[in-house]
Chains A and B, each alone.
Chain A
Amino acid sequence: MRTVAEPFTAEEVRVEPRDTPGITVNGTPADVAHVQKADIRVDLADDHGRSYVVEHVLGPLGLCGVTAARVEGIREDWQFARVEDRICYSRGVGPQGVVGHPGGYPNPAIAEGVGTVGVETHGDAVRHTVAEPVTVTAGDGSLTVAPRERGAGVRFEVAFRGEELTAEVDPAGDTDPDLVAAVTGSQTPYLTEDPREGITHSIADLVSDVAVIGGLEDVLVEADLTGAEGYHRLTVGASRRAHAEDLVVEH
């Protein structure tokens, strides 16, 4: 497993090392069993509470090769234009549950923070793929996760709103820094009107939902996210199906 060498603060979250595999957000494990919502955003929930827009945290951590960390929301100011803040206020809890970047970016300060403190590797690198291709559809969108050989990493071949993008991500942290910068500097397609920026942003969501939440390190992801009516239905949906059908294999 790979964890951050030291704690750091990245705008609305604090990231700390963890000595067991997996990433937790406000105490909730970031895995398919704890996904409460997956459409236009991803929320995790358990007895610790509910964390909102977690893909903006998990994406940058996954892009930087972090597989173990404890993430805590540290926001204190309300931003009521955000529906997630209104939900928290309605339930009488603070805004710490909303860990997504207020500007709609895969939190670039997390990537910078990981770069500053470094990553420590502990134990053998266990890697996972799928035993056979997994395809899900939602609305007019579709996504297929297919096996890749050990060490190959995650290859994304994505189409979205008339744009196409191919990206290679190494879940062990050896991803092209320019790609990481481009992805974390791209605003969510729900806010930007630039389709190129939207598809670039989608790589962070794919890393979050397939590599981190799905725990898949060596896969080919072919996706047409257009018309999915909330494309996390596809990205988390594929991970859910792979786990539900026992198709996730260590290799």
Chain B
Amino acid sequence: MTLPAPASVPDRATGVADRPGEGVNVAVAGIPDPAAVTATEDGYTGPSAGTLGRLAAAADAVDAAGGVLHAPVPDFTAAGPWLVVEPLDGRLATVAKGTGTVTVTLSAPTGHLDARLRGLRDRVDAVFEAARPTHDRYPVDRDEFGAFTPGLTTTEPAAVTVEEDGVTVTLDVATTPATTAAAIRQQFEAPAAVQDVAVTIDQGVERATPPPALRDAAEAAVAETLGDWAYEWLPGPSLFTQVPGGQKLAVGTGHPGADTYSHEAYRQLRAILTATMEAWG
């Protein structure tokens, strides 16, 4: 089973979405421009290869098994539970990490220009070093497969502001249910030039509670297709968090941020969604 021609996917998806339907709602991340996606021997390539490939799989599954495809824009007032299609490498998700901001204020470097530049670099490096996740048991610094860090409080640099009287480093924070503002403050307080650490938690961790029958159907479908089911946390705000309420479950193939999407990923997602919706009824 191979992916359809990219140019055919939007019309096909729109046609399925426009049809009256009932059952589970299927949310996809819009309809990307197919001109930006190239069909290759292995599948799709291009910045929105995954989005278009997952849309193709979702349209096929809804066409085959029923349900309501929400494309290009979800109708969040629709009744019933949601299957949210996300790049999850074949895993399921009910949890999205929360968001926040940490603002680290440091003293201004002094001296001649070279000294001030060196001091600036040292201050920013010290904050970035403090931002690296650590764990007393697990080698999170060599977590090449992402086994540990999805469950840790993590930060990403957002801005560095240099002014006459000081330096401010702002980082976006991804929170877990165990995250506390006090722990984040402590993490960034150590560098000598730090004068203040301000933490804001904007959005807490979201945990959905999909209907058990839908969850069971999805687990069985993933196990049938991939050999076993597993869950992972979504790294932050996404289509999943836009769907209101807790009656939702995310599922999908393809890697986040990847610019390729394979025929196999398409076949797997199509099979998973179809089997899930058939079992759900």
With A78-B178, A80-B178 as contacts: A90 and B233 at CB distance below 8 Å: yes
Contact status A90-B95, CB under 8 Å: yes
Q: How far is the CB of B249 from chain A (nearest CB, A)?
A: 10
> B152 on the interface (CB 8 Å rule)?
yes
Asked whether A125 is an interface residue with its Cβ less than 8 Å from the other chain, the reply is: no
Say which one of B105-113, B134-142, B258-266 lies at the interface with A: B134-142
Contacting pair B233 A81 (CB below 8 A): no
Cα distance, A203 to B79, chains bound together (Å) = 54
Q: Determine the distance from Cα of A83 to Cα of B139 in the docked complex, in whole angstroms.
A: 14
A91 located at the interface, meaning its Cβ lies under 8 Å from any Cβ of chain B in the complex: yes
Task: Count how many chain A residues have C-beta atoms less than 8 Å from C-beta atoms of the other chain.
Answer: 19
The reply to whether A78 and B137 form a contact with Cβ atoms under 8 Å apart is: no
Are A83 and B151 in touch, CB under 8 angstroms? yes
Give chain B's interface secondary structure class: loop
A residues near B230, Cβ cutoff 8 Å:
83, 87
Chain A at the B interface: mostly helix, strand, loop or mixed? loop
Q: Do B140 and A90 touch (CB < 8 A)?
A: no
C-alpha gap A92/B231 in the complex (Å): 12
Q: Name which of B138, B140, B148 has the most chain A CB atoms within 10 A of its CB.
A: B138
Which among A36, A37, A78, A83 has the highest number of chain B CB atoms within 10 Å?
Answer: A83
Residues of chain A from 157 to 190 with CB closer than 8 A to chain B in the complex = none
Given contacts A80-B152, A89-B95, contact A103 B233 (CB under 8 A): no
Contact of A83 among B94, B147, B209 (CB under 8 A): B147
B146 nearest CB neighbor, chain A only = A83
25 A-B residue pairs with CB within 8 Å: A37-B228, A78-B177, A80-B151, A80-B152, A80-B177, A81-B135, A81-B137, A81-B140, A81-B148, A81-B149, A82-B148, A82-B151, A83-B147, A83-B148, A83-B230, A83-B232, A86-B95, A86-B150, A86-B232, A87-B230, A87-B231, A89-B177, A90-B95, A92-B94, A191-B139
Q: 5 tightest A-B contacts by CB? A: A80-B151, A90-B231, A81-B148, A87-B231, A90-B94
